Structures are given as structure tokens and as C-alpha cells.
Amino acid sequence: MAAAMIPLAFRDKCGHLLIDLNKCRREKNFKPWECGHERHTYEECEYYAWMDRCDAKKKNATA
């Protein structure tokens, strides 16, 4: 991820998808309609990661 110049804030469990998304964005000159699949995949991963964090927080609160 360091070679792909991913900022530290984005190096989470979905960082590997961000590499592909940024590569697509650079190849397509940042046209938002060109990389829809990659963006959707990355955002879906981020959503499920957020849901996992919420579930973990709820489990810790009840324990």
C-alpha cells in the first residue's frame, strides 16, 4: 500500500480495493462514470467494515 501511495487513514481492510479504484481513476482521467464497478465494490466493503465495527461495539457494550 505504501508503493500505491495510499494515505494511512485509508489503509484498512478495504485498502486493496482502493488501489484498484485509484488505478482506474487515473487511467480514465477521473471521469466518475467510468469506474462505477470499482467504486461500488470499495464502498460496499467500507459499509460492511463499518457494520462489523458497530456489531463489535454493541457486543463490548453488553459484555
Question: Over the stretch 41-59, which tens digit does the pLDDT of each residue have?
Answer: 999 999 999 999 999 999 9
Tell whether 6 is covered by a domain.
no
Domain assignment present for 4: no
With respect to residue 20, please indicate whether it lies within any of the assigned structural domains. yes
**Structural domain contains residue 51:** yes
Burial pattern 13-41, b for ≥16 Cβ within 10 A else e, equals ebeebbbebbebbeeeeeeeeebeebbee
Name the band, by pLDDT with cuts 50, 70 and 90, for residue 36.
very high
Range of the domain at 31: 12-62
Residue 19 · residue 51 · CB < 8 Å = no
- In terms of DSSP H, where are the helices of 1-63? 15-27, 36-62
pLDDT at 63 over 80: no
Residue 3 in domain: no
Distance, in Å, from the CA atom of 21 to the CA atom of 48, rounded to the nearest integer, reads: 18
Share of the chain above pLDDT 90, in %: 76
User: Does 5 map to a domain?
Assistant: no
What's the confidence (pLDDT) of residue 53? Answer: 96
Q: Is position 52 within any domain?
A: yes
Domain count, the chain: 1
Average pLDDT over residues 21-40: 95
Q: Classify residue 1: in a domain, yes or no.
A: no
The reported pLDDT for the residue numbered 54 is: 97
